[in-house]
Structure 1
């Protein structure tokens, strides 16, 4: 039986929390992306935007799928060579980014550039999730999903606030 929208949302939030991801950390990434363009930006609208992105069912589905693949990899439950590819976060695999792009797509083309920047620079939370040296956890999908949520939330803010942009003044 498929979960109700509110139950699916709760499960997605719990899965993020279980993996050590706090929404305020994603909001910090959003703030860093948008503060150069939105003069009066505070953390509150960034957090609200993150929450709005995660309320979308397709985002919840991506969160659940990516985290499940990461967990199955940690447990050694995937077939070879997929097990080793995800375990090593093979740079040419790319399916983790493809899943993340399904989230980025929700708020238009600015999301692609935001996501590309975050994926390349790996700031803050993304760097922590991508660091394989201090954890026995696999975050091959989660680091990209977090980056995509931040990119989409930043894009949402940009689209919702064209009148307060420094460019428009």
Structure 2
């Protein structure tokens, strides 16, 4: 008997994650990118949506994020099908406000981009920007469970938003005429 495939390359993880988001909760990369764009537009007016899309796609290639998305989608599906036993079934099914594991998992995804990623996630989680609001509202409908996925989607948007800010700031730093770009190889030459 052959072992099941356990490891996926970045391209495979990206494709599987995109398919999971679409199939589980009808969320696209563009839906998530719009949240990142909205969050960063107050700092960078006219920000290009393509940078936001690129940032979301980058995050969807991370192995930890792959595991989070796949896990969250299955938890929500099983809760929707009433496959859990005991109190956890109702807690997940009705998205109990005091249940914080969904936010904890979201914070873990946002943590890929440090404290700012987590702060951005807090804003998205509290204010329910864009597609996150639709998921949260749909999850309040009898028979639809997005307890985990609304937080995962918000966390991906938060991480993408933070990546966008980092890219924009790097571009600004490179425009500074007093900034001298030095590569690792230049540093090695100086030590000799």
Same fold (TM over 0.5): yes
Paired residues of 1:129 and 1:139 also in contact (CA < 8 A): yes
Q: Match of 1:108, SS?
A: helix
Structure with max Cα Rg: 2
Change (3 A) 1:55 1:8: closer
In structure 1, the residue matched to 2:51 is: 45
Change (3 A) 1:146 1:135: farther
Change (3 A) 1:163 1:57: closer
CA deviation map 1:39-66 (0-9, x unaligned): 4411110010000011111111100000
**Does the alignment pair 1:155 with 2:159?**
no
Using the size of structure 1 for normalisation, the TM-score is: 0.91
| Whole-angstrom CA distance in 1 between matches of 2:165 and 2:55 | 10
**Does the alignment pair 1:85 with 2:91?**
yes
In structure 1, the residue matched to 2:125 is: 119
52-61 or 9-18, larger mean C-alpha shift: 9-18
Q: Match of 1:120, SS?
A: helix
Change (3 A) 1:135 1:45: farther
Q: Match of 1:161, SS?
A: helix
User: 1:104 Cα shift?
Assistant: 0.4
**Does the alignment pair 1:145 with 2:152?**
yes
CA RMSD across the alignment: 1.9
Using the size of structure 2 for normalisation, the TM-score is: 0.81
Higher RCO (CA 8 Å, separation ≥ 6 residues): 1
**Does the alignment pair 1:4 with 2:8?**
yes
In structure 2, the residue matched to 1:32 is: 38
Change (3 A) 1:66 1:47: same
Report the number of matched residues: 167
